[in-house]
Amino acid sequence: MAELKLFKLGNEIKELKSSSATIEKELQNIIEKNMYDFFGVRFLQSEYKIDNGRMDSIGIDENNCPVIFEYKCHSNENVINQGLFYLNWLLEHKANFKLLVIEKLGIEEAEEIDWSMPRVICIAGDFNKYDEEAIKQINRNVSLIRYKKYDNDLLLFELLNSNTVAPLETEKDNQNKKINDKTFSEQYENAPLKFKNIFDELKEFALNLGDDVSDNTLKLYMAFKKIKNFATMEIYQGKILINFKLNPDDYQLTDSLRDIRNIGHWGCGDLQLIIKSEKDIELAKKLLQKAYEEN
C-alpha cells in the first residue's frame, strides 16, 4: 500500500515518521480502552477464550451487532482467516455471546443483540493487494484497517476496505419474529412511492459524500457509516426518520427536527429529522453532510 505522509506545520515543515512497530498487545490495550471513540463499539472482553483459540477483543457495536477485533503488527500475518474462523464459531455459539453481554451489560442489552450484521475488524500495520481482493470473495462482513503510529502520541487509522454483505437471517430468527414486526426491507417494500423516491435520493446523496461511506441494512433501519455510524434512516407509510450523530444543542429545534436523547429510538444519533414531504430534502442533505464531516 502507498505510504501516508504526515507533516507538522510551523516555521519549518517537519515530516513525522510513521511506524507500525507498536507491539500487538500494546495496540490491543490502546484500542480496548478507547474502542467506542475509535470504532463505535462497546468493549466486552479481551482474549475471549473459545474451544480452539482466543479472540483478541470482542465487543458490540452501535447497531447491537457482535464485533470481533484481530490485531497484527505486520502485513504478512494471516489476520483475515483467523478472524473469519472466530466469526463462524460465534455464529454457531450465539448463546455464549449472549451470556457475555448479560454479564457485562445486563439482560436488557442482551435482548437487543442483532445477529443480522456480525463483523470482523482486522487491524494491521499494512495489508497487501491480495488481502483486499480476498475479502470481496467472502460472504462475511470484514473491515481492513491499517494503523500507523507517529511519534509518541499520534495514532492513525485508515479504512482500506470494508466488505458488507446482505443481512443474515436464520430460521430461528424467523420463528421468533412477532407477527406485527416488519423488517426494514419489508417497510421499504411497502412504503408509498413518494417516500421510496425521497429515501433513494437521500441514500444516494449519503453514499456520494465520500469513498469511505458505506450503507448497512440492519433489521429495522439502514445505517450510513465511515468507520463509525454517522446517520441512520427508517422508512414508514407516512414518514421517513433520519437520526444524525450531531449535538441537538447546536440546532434550532422544531416539531420535525427534535432532540431524541431522552426518547427511545432505533439507530444511532441524538438529533432526528422527521421527513413528511419533499420540502425536507435539502435540510436532510445539509445535516447528512454535517454528520459526515463531524464523525
State mean pLDDT over 228-250. Answer: 95
With H, G, I as helix, E, B as strand and everything else as coil, classify residue 5. Answer: coil
The chain-wide mean pLDDT, for the chain, equals 87
Q: Which tens digits make up the pLDDT trace of 95-130?
A: 999 999 999 999 999 999 999 889 999 998 888 778
Please write down the HEC assignment for all residues of 94-134.
Answer: HHHHHHHHHHHHCHHHHHCCCCCCCEEEEEECCCCHHHHHH
Report pLDDT for 179.
Answer: 39
Q: Using a pLDDT cut of 90, give the percent of the chain over it.
A: 56
pTM: 0.79
Q: Which tens digits make up the pLDDT trace of 45-90?
A: 999 999 888 999 999 999 999 999 999 866 556 788 888 999 999 9
For the chain, the structural domain boundaries read: 13-163, 178-294
* Topology at the third CATH level for domain 178-294: Aspartate Aminotransferase, domain 1 (3.90.1150)
CATH architecture label of 13-163? 3-Layer(aba) Sandwich (3.40)
Q: What is the DSSP letter of 44?
A: E
Report pLDDT for 25.
Answer: 83
